[in-house]
Amino acid sequence: MVTLVILPGWRQTKEDWAVAASRFSGINVIVLELPGFGQTPLIGDTWGIPEYSDYVNEKIEKLRLDNIVLLGHSFGGRIASYIASQQPAWLKGLILYGAPCLYRPTLKAKLLSKIAPFAKKLGFSKKLSRNKELLEADNAGLGKIFRKTVGFDQTELLPKINATTLLLWGRNDTEAPLRLAQEMHTLIPNNTLEIIDNSGHHVHIDNQYIFYGKVKAFLDTL
């Protein structure tokens, strides 16, 4: 029997996944809360994707389970894909769900990065950094982690994934645009891209039955 290990997205907790996880009756499901979120204390405020991946890998190896399917949503998907690129023996399958594993900044972001050094000298840097998520991360002591995560590009790592992979995406996802999934589809060797219409970044909440159906159908193929 496979074990489904869910890695939640940024600032998500076990409670955010409780309903979705409960639908998988007959399957061993573990929602692994990440350090700094929910009831799991922050370990290092300068961690990036590699450090979070080491943490998850250590937790999974302590479970002494084989045939694990990693399901990573958004931030959790970045971690899951990094782990999968290391080809652990216990990994049976991989589900990357709304996971922006590629760093493809918009033209606006590129311009702001060029302007930022000059704005800082002139004392305007705060006006340029009104990103809501970044401000929330700074206030929660997660600012350094957020900055490391957003700019972490896995273009060269994705082709190293040898596990059967499902890319699950909401067509209207604005946090992880569909174009990222389409490019990831060309980079990961053995994958299927499933696009869910009329859905955004949180399909497991907005379209619970469709989400369950897509994941269950993938699990049945392994």
Average pLDDT over residues 141-164: 95
Residue of 155, 31, 23, 172 lying closest to 102 (CA atoms): 155
Report how far residue 13's alpha carbon sits from residue 221's, in angstroms, rounded to the nearest whole number.
28
pLDDT computed for residue 111 by the predictor: 44
pLDDT computed for residue 105 by the predictor: 82
More confident: 140 or 163: 163
Mark whether 217 and 201 lie in a shared domain: yes
Mark whether 132 and 99 lie in a shared domain: no
Query: What is the extent of the structural domain holding 168?
Result: 3-105+151-221
Mark whether 100 and 127 lie in a shared domain: no
Residue of 79, 71, 73, 17 lying closest to 47 (CA atoms): 79
Report how far residue 137's alpha carbon sits from residue 36's, in angstroms, rounded to the nearest whole number.
10
Q: How many domains does the chain have?
A: 2
Mark whether 80 and 112 lie in a shared domain: no
CATH of the domain at 79: 3.40.50.1820
Antiparallel, parallel or unpaired: β 164-170 and 91-97: parallel
pLDDT band at 133 (very low <50, low <70, confident <90, very high): confident
- Tell me which of 92, 117, 149 is where a domain ends: 149
pTM confidence score = 0.90
Q: Is 79 exposed, middle or buried, given 0-12, 13-18 or 19+ CB atoms closer than 10 A?
A: buried
Mean model confidence pLDDT for the chain:
90
